[in-house]
Structure 1
Amino acid sequence: MNNFLKFDIKDKIVVRSPQKKILPLIVSSPHSGRNYPPDFVAASALTPLRLRSSEDSFVEDIFSYAPDLGASLIQALFPRVFVDVNRQPYELDPTMFSDFLPHYVITQNSRISAGLGTIARVVSNGERVYKNKLTFQEAEERINHFYRPYHDALQTLINNTKDEFGYCILLDCHSMPSGRIGTNNPSQSKPSRLAEIVLGDCHGTSCHPHIMKSSNEFLTECGFSVRRNIPYAGGFITRNYGKPKEGVHALQIELNRALYMDEQHIEPLEEIKPLRHAMTGFMEQLGNLVISDMGYKEAAE
């Protein structure tokens, strides 16, 4: 029996709810977990520090004031390299497994080819994660005991928020390596400026257009260089839950790690403090957007 099966739910997921829910906002941090199961680390070909290179480190800290604003915050405490909740449940690379995969498993897409399926083959710099091949049972145990509880908890938050407010805004929070450059012009292969923030709405399908517009304007006014949808349009969480016609609006945000951390040593910099302050203001602005039959307006109006 894998030791990680003994993990209690409190070791897998944290949901921080406000004393009083004032905003129809849910903040999700699916990739900042750093609770590494010991038997997973032992099975890896990498050092613990190299394993952490795929983390969206400290993102939960940057958005930690969500409950103080009256919003809910959910975080996966386990790392994405162990099982990635921002994928479909069964995106698996067959070359990683010693046995055959069931027919319902997705075995071919761009994420799997890159080694970044539900169970990752590599970390962010392309280094191989495992010494040996896995069994499908190992993957299914991670999916059933870690992946599904996260999505169950997130769906419950969405349902409760919709019941209370009539709609819900989901902000899915990530960080990106500083070497990745974004541009709004698909024909421009070498953009002139490094994106500090990339906002993704799945090319206009996961949230009301005013959410993207107002978010872009607010963050730009804060002094950040902001790009939309390129190179990150939104992962599984944004695509799966963002259903504007059903009252669920999902927006993905990617923060350039150079803004707040030493990427080589995975340590926060002093600059994390003003970034946290800016993101607190952003969450407040986002949560105060309300929907009516006539469109969007400011909650204070």
Structure 2
Amino acid sequence: MDTVESFDTAPPYDLLVPITQTVPFVFGSPHSGTSYPRNFLEASQLSTLDLRRSEDTYVDRLITPSVQKGAPMITARFPRCYCDVNREPYELDPRMFSDALPAFANTASLRVAGGLGTVPRVVGDRQPIYRRKLPVADAMERVEKLYKPYHSALRRALAQTHVRFGASVLVDCHSMPSLIRTSSGTLSTDFVVGDRFGASCAPQISETIVDVLRDLGFAVARNKPYAGGFITEHYGRPDKGIHAVQLEINRGLYMNERTLLPNAGFNAVMDALSETMDALFLLDVEVLAPVDRAAAE
């Protein structure tokens, strides 16, 4: 990780593009950012290590083969615990702020209730982040300077891809704890593929990911316990030829969850993702095309 004074002088995201884009895919890692604003660290009552446990650490590195294979990749520089772009723009918790939120803020979502809104209130095992309440202007600034630029860049990448190929697919990549807590206890799996129960992408996309990873010997779940967040739901419009699928990777496969250092399995996971990309890139673009175009042809 590194400490930054602000994001005023550089984009809050990295967009890596191939010399020539050869496939209708865009890869994203919205939660792997490790640049922490100094004033945020000073306002937090938690250790840096506690804050970092909410990161999708190294996911951006794991998916870098996508660029060499011809697909753009966008990753956030800022940490998820500072601003979470996998939320609506104004999912905000009134308990966090010293003044009133605007009327358009969504204060009633389940994510807000859990303290995990656009500006999170907690990390990890519901550990409160801040020493004291924040001014609402602080949240608005994060939305304007971080959230909106990230989504603008993502929309642009998907739109340009759609124009070039007639379809576009976002593979939104995340990591998950090795033990996932659910209402019925804990479970463990290697990967979870989320497509909003078939609503966010053509079934061939999800099926390809599941089949490749299972053939490589991994345990793979589909939609449970993660069916896809705001990004998957918001961008996935398969009837228009715009697809979105979420991929969750078990952190224990590639890193030490206590020290946050890569482990001996890192290269194997990267290789598995690379093979998955190869299989996805073989999908016929007509499978991904808008419904009306496919019907017309």
3-state SS, counterpart of residue 267 of structure 1: coil
Residue 138 of structure 2 corresponds to 138
Contact 1:30/1:75 (<8 A) preserved: yes
Give the deviation of 1:120 after TM superposition: 0.4
Alignment-mate amino acid for residue 247 of structure 1? G
Q: 2:242 aligns with which of 235, 242, 248?
A: 248
Distance in 2, Cα, partners of 1:118 & 1:221: 37
TM-score after normalising by structure 2: 0.92
Give the deviation of 1:4 after TM superposition: 2.1
| Counterpart mapping for 1:55-94 below 5 A | 55-94=55-94
Distance in 1, Cα, partners of 2:154 & 2:288: 28
Contact 2:192/2:222 (<8 A) preserved: yes
Against the structure 1 CA distance between its residues 107 and 181, is the aligned structure 2 distance closer, same or farther, given a 3 Å change threshold? closer
Residue 123 of structure 1 corresponds to 123
Contact 1:181/1:195 (<8 A) preserved: no
| Counterpart mapping for 1:173-192 below 5 A | 173-180=173-180, 189=184
Give the deviation of 1:293 after TM superposition: 7.0
Residue 6 of structure 2 corresponds to 4
Alignment-mate amino acid for residue 6 of structure 1? D
Contact 2:93/2:121 (<8 A) preserved: yes
Distance in 2, Cα, partners of 1:293 & 1:44: 48
Contact 2:212/2:275 (<8 A) preserved: no
Q: Does 1:36 align with 2:2?
A: no
Distance in 2, Cα, partners of 1:42 & 1:22: 44
Contact 1:169/1:287 (<8 A) preserved: no
Distance in 1, Cα, partners of 2:199 & 2:143: 27
Residue 276 of structure 1 corresponds to 270
Give the deviation of 1:125 after TM superposition: 2.0
RMSD value over aligned CA atoms? 1.9
Please say which of residues 282-291 and 63-72 is displaced more in the overlay. 282-291
Where does the alignment leave 5 or more consecutive residues of structure 1 unmatched?
Answer: 183-187, 297-301
TM-score after normalising by structure 1: 0.91
Give the deviation of 1:290 after TM superposition: 2.3
Give the deviation of 1:270 after TM superposition: 1.9
Distance in 1, Cα, partners of 2:67 & 2:138: 35
Distance in 2, Cα, partners of 1:57 & 1:82: 15
Cα distance per residue 1:58-87 (max 9 Å; x no partner)? 000111111100011000010010000000
3-state SS, counterpart of residue 158 of structure 1: helix
Alignment-mate amino acid for residue 206 of structure 2? M
Distance in 2, Cα, partners of 1:112 & 1:122: 10
Alignment-mate amino acid for residue 163 of structure 1? V
| Counterpart mapping for 1:196-235 below 5 A | 196-235=190-229
Cα distance per residue 1:9-50 (max 9 Å; x no partner)? 1xx110000011111110000000000011111111111111
Alignment-mate amino acid for residue 59 of structure 2? V
Alignment-mate amino acid for residue 8 of structure 1? A
Residue 185 of structure 1 corresponds to none
3-state SS, counterpart of residue 180 of structure 2: coil
Give the deviation of 1:285 after TM superposition: 1.3
Q: Does 1:262 align with 2:256?
A: yes
Alignment-mate amino acid for residue 178 of structure 1? S
Give the deviation of 1:107 after TM superposition: 0.2
Distance in 2, Cα, partners of 1:262 & 1:181: 19
Give the deviation of 1:287 after TM superposition: 2.4
Distance in 2, Cα, partners of 1:7 & 1:25: 29
Give the deviation of 1:3 after TM superposition: 4.5
Residue 24 of structure 1 corresponds to 24
Give the deviation of 1:247 after TM superposition: 0.6
3-state SS, counterpart of residue 205 of structure 1: coil
Cα distance per residue 1:234-262 (max 9 Å; x no partner)? 01110000000111111100001110111
Contact 2:172/2:247 (<8 A) preserved: yes
Distance in 2, Cα, partners of 1:151 & 1:293: 26
Residue 48 of structure 1 corresponds to 48
Contact 2:241/2:288 (<8 A) preserved: no
Cα distance per residue 1:109-132 (max 9 Å; x no partner)? 111111110000011221110001
Distance in 2, Cα, partners of 1:293 & 1:45: 50
Q: Identity of counterpart residues, as a percentage?
A: 41
Alignment-mate amino acid for residue 231 of structure 2? I
Against the structure 1 CA distance between its residues 97 and 292, is the aligned structure 2 distance closer, same or farther, given a 3 Å change threshold? same
Give the deviation of 1:289 after TM superposition: 1.2
Alignment-mate amino acid for residue 257 of structure 1? R
Contact 2:201/2:245 (<8 A) preserved: yes
